[in-house]
A and B are shown apart, each in its own frame.
Chain A
Amino acid sequence: EAGVVQSPRYKIIEKKQPVAFWCNPISGHNTLYWYRQNLGQGPELLIRYENEEAVDDSQLPKDRFSAERLKGVDSTLKIQPAELGDSAVYLCASSLGTGGADTQYFGPGTRLTVL
Chain B
Amino acid sequence: GEDVEQSLFLSVREGDSSVINCTYTDSSSTYLYWYKQEPGAGLQLLTYIFSNMDMKQDQRLTVLLNKKDKHLSLRIADTQTGDSAIYFCAESHSGGYQKVTFGTGTKLQVIP
Contact = CB atoms under 8 A, between A and B. Distances in A.
Nearest to B40: A108
A56 B103 CA distance: 20
Nearest to A91: B42
Q: What's the interface size class on A, roughly?
A: 20 to 34
Majority-rule SS of B interface residues: strand
Closest 4 CB pairs of A and B: A106-B42, A42-B102, A106-B43, A101-B31
Interface of A: 4, 40-45, 48, 50, 55-56, 91, 93, 99-109
Given A40-B104, A40-B105, A42-B4, A56 B42 contact: no
A48 B50 contact: no
Given A40-B104, A101-B50, A45 B99 contact: yes
B1 to A, nearest CB: 11
Contacts of A41: 104-105
Interface string B86-101: 0010101000011110
Given A55-B97, A56-B97, A101-B31, A42 B45 contact: no
B44 interface: yes
Contact of B102 (A40, A43, A55, A102): A43
Nearest to B38: A108
Interface in B54-100: 88, 90, 92, 97-100
Contacts of B41: 108-109
A110 to B, nearest CB: 11
Contact of B98 (A102, A105, A107): A102
Given A42-B104, A101-B31, A4 B99 contact: no
Interface string B20-60: 00000000000101000000111111001010000000000
A93 B40 CA distance: 15
Nearest to A59: B99
A43 B43 contact: yes
A104 B100 contact: yes
